Amino acid sequence: MKRTVTLLIVALALLCASCGTTNTVPITGRKTNLLVDDAQILSLSTQQYQEYMKGAKLSANQNNTAIVKRVGQRLATAVENFLMNNGYASEVQNFKWEFNLVASNEVNAFCMPGGKIVVYEGMLPVTQDETSLAIVLGHEIAHAVAKHSAEQMSKQMRQQYAAQIGGSVLGQIAQNKGLSSNTAALIDLIAQQGFNFANLKYSRDNETEADRLGLIFAAMAGYDPHQAIPFWQRMAQLGGGSQKSEIFSDHPSDEKRIANLQKVLPEALKYYTPATTPAPATQKASTTKKTTTTKKTAAKK
């Protein structure tokens, strides 16, 4: 019996691999097998983003809002230029960039597939300037470029397939609705788990990859990648030393994250050309509004 189950699992894994598409992450070259296509995930992401923005309160600080949009667009332009010139031109059509600053003291930011990025006001007293903000936005953009959301969805769909070996739930759905097994699994995933891009937790490997790509993207846009180190040191101070082990977190520990970024710095510097135009007078974000956050809430993506 055990041998039969093992063979079924192996067969399932092969089936999942054959049904998906291979994605190659820019720069890192890492290959992943995705069970959801771009159209599916972008449609779902757009719906969730619109719902989120209906309930969100945008920041009333026009200066800070302008900074977020300016830095974000500068990064997006640099990333798109890189993709266009390095064999990923077809990916550019998937991005419709949007950058919003939301009124919240939470120290957080997130990105949905397709380039919908939200920064919470509580992040700005920690970033303090445009360069550190570029480090945060670069990290979020990296999640979108690397298709980490699709990777996590595919992982959960495979888990569903494995859990339903011997059953016919997905098969019946697909047969009755005329859907592919992958589409049926996606619907089942959303229905059972309430898959939410805004609250999605990536794996530690995804977070480390986003740190690397984000640092490089910031450098491409003309932001000094060295500033990532003091920024993450400030983030670590918010944690009060409570995050001592990454075993209990989807994010790398602060200490390991900083060490990894230091290792990536030489690579990022190869892409770095300092901006030649003077920084605008409004470079520094306003932090006159007191933040009540005393405990770190790490950037989710």
Token digits for 173? 């759905």
Helix (H, G, I), strand (E, B) or coil at 22: strand
Q: Distance between alpha carbon 62 and the CA centroid of its chain, in Å?
A: 26
Q: Look-up: residue for tokens 């500068």? A: 74
Q: Is 166 exposed, middle or buried (0-12, 13-18, 19+ CB in 10 A)?
A: exposed
Q: 151 an active-site residue? A: no
Which amino acid would we find at residue 87? G
Question: Residue 131: which of 214, 239, 236 has the closest Cα?
Answer: 214
In DSSP terms, 23 is beta-bridged to: 32
Q: What is the DSSP string of 154-195?
A: HHHHHHHHHHTTT--HHHHHHHHHT--HHHHHHHHHHHHH--
CB atoms within 10 A of CB 28: 14
Question: Residue 104: which of 293, 241, 254 has the closest Cα?
Answer: 293
Q: Name the percent of the chain in helix, strand, coil, to the closest 5.
A: 60, 10, 35
CA atoms of 140 and 178, how far apart (whole Å): 36
Q: Is 54 exposed, middle or buried (0-12, 13-18, 19+ CB in 10 A)?
A: exposed
Which residue among the candidates 91, 121, 140, 209 is catalytic per the annotation?
A: 140
203: CB partners within 8 A, 6+ apart: 152, 250
Active site residues: 140
